[in-house]
Amino acid sequence: MGAQLLLLALLSVTAEDLATDLRVFLDLGRTAAQAAAVARQRAQAAGFRKLDPLDRTACGAIRPDDRLLVALREQSVLLVRVGRQPGRGRWIGAHLDGCGLRVQPGKIPQNGQMRAVAYGGIKPYHYRDRPLLLTGRVVRRDGSVVDLTLGPSDGFSFLVTEMPPPDDHALRARAPFVVVAAQTAAPLQEVLRTRFGVREDDLAASELYLVPAQPTREVGLDRALVGGPGQDDRLCSLAALRALLDARDPDRTAAALLVDREEEGSHRAGARSELVDATEACLAQAAQVRPGALFARSQALSADVKAGVDPLFPQVHELRNAPVLGGGPTLVKFTGGGWFRGSEAHAELVAAVRALAARIGVPLQGSLSGRVDEGGGGTIALFLAQRGMDVVDVGLPVLSMHSPFEISAKSDLYQGYRLFMAFFEEPVTR
């Protein structure tokens, strides 16, 4: 306990510091690729070096205390701190993608009305009459990559004027939204050409999103909350990133897996990516164990946001098993609606995480994904479990999840950060 107090004094990271950092992270990382870029920059500034997990020689040269950065394409990132016991691991997985609108690639229609489709499960009405920012990547005909952002700093926003009707009971929609880019195609074409050197033909190869243009805000007269888009799951991603960067001398190999595409099935370079397995094989070789053995000797936290009790709709929650904002991180024994992308943690791991939290004084809340038969949601836990890791869902509660103005509590982020860091730092006991 004395050592923990000393550690806290040394830390000097406050809840306010983290909340400010969160707002910066959210405002800079509007897409998974942008958030991954921020994570890479932070890691490189903290001494992480790039590792190509397909490079046999590089893998052979890995040593304890190495700080490694693996870019899973441009959109996801795996950060590793090699432990003094490199054959054992502690992983935290979180996702960098957030819900929003994705622009359909191709030319801008002559009437200036672009088409966009939902990315992730969104309620269409949340996106009507809300100023939007266009951001993402275009690969030009010559192969060069352009990162572009157009929005309020250019003196205008984009706006949805027609939304598709909801097509399921959860009010979600898959049909296209109509987005005003201008009264004709020409003004946007001109901005793209003069500002970014992007011609209309170039847009055929693009990944462009329309995300809320508003910057994040503090919410509540007590300034205890943060509101803004993409906190599902950049909130947990930031907690995991900061915990990995700040952790001291992890005994086990510590890894933060921050991935794209969770909201759409974890494909491409998401949680299911072979590059994660390749990196494990690389680390296993350096630890002189067989591929897969590091996974098998790892515990993992699947760090995703959880639905905090909604003050206006408490009836959808199982109130004795639902987290409240400000109550601390959530520990989830099982996720999914009992059938959908479900995952159930071993009691031993649940006990270990509860004991760890109790030791450092982090409050933990139980959580289910809503009342039985009200719906639910999954996380990337099962993709970690499939690799042989022992996984439990530990997350942070948010309100208005999947809306363009998600809300989290500063104190929860702080406690989540402490828990994640302790998880990485916990020494191996004999």
Partner 1 sequence: MAALAACAHEPAGSPAASAPGEPASAERAGRSSGEPARPSLSPEEQARVNEFARAYADFLARAKTVREAVRELSALAQKSGGAVTIVEQRPDAIALARAGRRPLGEGIAIVVVPLDAPHLRLLPAPLEEREHFGMLRTTLHGTLDLKQWLSIPLALHGFIPGKPGLVIGEQPGDPVLVVPDLLPHLAMHAQAERIIEPSNMSVLGSLGGARALGEALAARGVPPDDLATGEFSVVPADAPTFVGADRALLAGYGAGSRALAYGAVRALVDAAPEHGVLVIGVSSLDGASAGRPFVRTAIERSVAASGGDQWAVRGLIAHSLAVIGHAVGGEPGKGIALGPLDDDATPEAQRRLLRGIEHGGGRFQISSTEARGAPARELSTQNLDAIELGVPEMGSQAPLPVISAFDLYQGYRACKGLFELP
Q: Which of residues 135-154 bind partner 1 (CB under 8 A)?
A: 150, 152, 154
Size (the chain), residues: 430
Spatial separation of the C-alpha atoms in residues 67 and 381, rounded to whole Å: 24
User: Which residue of 16, 129, 201, 249 would you call a contact of partner 1, by CB under 8 A?
Assistant: 129
Q: Is 209 helix (H, G, I), strand (E, B) or coil?
A: strand
Rule CB under 8 A: which of 382-421 touch partner 1? Answer: 399-405, 407, 409, 411
Spatial separation of the C-alpha atoms in residues 364 and 232, rounded to whole Å: 19
Structural element, H or E, at residue 330: strand 330-332
User: Considering the complex, what minimum distance in angstroms separates the CB of residue 337 from partner 1?
Assistant: 8
**344, two tokens:** 């159930």
Rule CB under 8 A: which of 54-93 touch partner 1? Answer: none
Q: Is 82 helix (H, G, I), strand (E, B) or coil?
A: coil
Choices 163-171, 253-261, 263-271, 283-291; region in contact with partner 1 by CB under 8 A: 163-171
User: Considering the complex, what minimum distance in angstroms separates the CB of residue 370 from partner 1?
Assistant: 4
User: Considering the complex, what minimum distance in angstroms separates the CB of residue 122 from partner 1?
Assistant: 7
Rule CB under 8 A: which of 324-363 touch partner 1? Answer: 324-326
User: Considering the complex, what minimum distance in angstroms separates the CB of residue 429 from partner 1?
Assistant: 37
Tracing tokens 């690389």 back to the chain, one arrives at 282
User: Considering the complex, what minimum distance in angstroms separates the CB of residue 81 from partner 1?
Assistant: 34
Rule CB under 8 A: which of 270-329 touch partner 1? Answer: 307, 309-317, 324-326
Spatial separation of the C-alpha atoms in residues 61 and 45, rounded to whole Å: 21
Residue 169 interacting with partner 1 (CB under 8 A): yes
Rule CB under 8 A: which of 94-123 touch partner 1? Answer: 112, 121-123
User: Which residue of 31, 253, 367, 369 would you call a contact of partner 1, by CB under 8 A?
Assistant: 369
Choices 237-245, 249-257, 374-382, 414-422; region in contact with partner 1 by CB under 8 A: 374-382
The answer to whether 409 and 325 have CB atoms below 8 angstroms apart is: yes
The residue (of 55 and 167) whose beta carbon lies closer to partner 1 is 167
From the list 290, 230, 285, 252, the residue with the least C-alpha distance to 64 is 252
Residue 208 interacting with partner 1 (CB under 8 A): no
User: Which residue of 225, 254, 284, 380 would you call a contact of partner 1, by CB under 8 A?
Assistant: 225
Q: Is 255 helix (H, G, I), strand (E, B) or coil?
A: strand
The residue (of 279 and 408) whose beta carbon lies closer to partner 1 is 408
Residue 234 interacting with partner 1 (CB under 8 A): no
CA 219 to chain centroid: 21
Strands 390-395 and 298-302, by their bridges, are: parallel
DSSP E strands in 311-413: the ranges are 330-332, 334-335, 343-344, 365-366, 390-395, 397-399, 406-409
Choices 9-17, 140-148, 221-229, 421-429; region in contact with partner 1 by CB under 8 A: 221-229
Spatial separation of the C-alpha atoms in residues 5 and 7, rounded to whole Å: 5
From the list 396, 316, 296, the residue with the least C-alpha distance to 88 is 296
**287, two tokens:** 């630890």
User: Considering the complex, what minimum distance in angstroms separates the CB of residue 190 from partner 1?
Assistant: 7
Residue 74: DSSP 8-state: T
Spatial separation of the C-alpha atoms in residues 364 and 327, rounded to whole Å: 7
**117, two tokens:** 């489709």
Choices 16-24, 45-53, 177-185, 241-249; region in contact with partner 1 by CB under 8 A: 177-185
User: Which residue of 157, 266, 365, 415 would you call a contact of partner 1, by CB under 8 A?
Assistant: 157
Strands 132-139 and 145-150, by their bridges, are: antiparallel
Residue 219 interacting with partner 1 (CB under 8 A): yes
User: Considering the complex, what minimum distance in angstroms separates the CB of residue 407 from partner 1?
Assistant: 6
User: Considering the complex, what minimum distance in angstroms separates the CB of residue 104 from partner 1?
Assistant: 18
User: Which residue of 15, 146, 148, 159 would you call a contact of partner 1, by CB under 8 A?
Assistant: 159
Choices 73-81, 138-146, 158-166, 248-256; region in contact with partner 1 by CB under 8 A: 158-166
The amino acid occupying position 118 is A
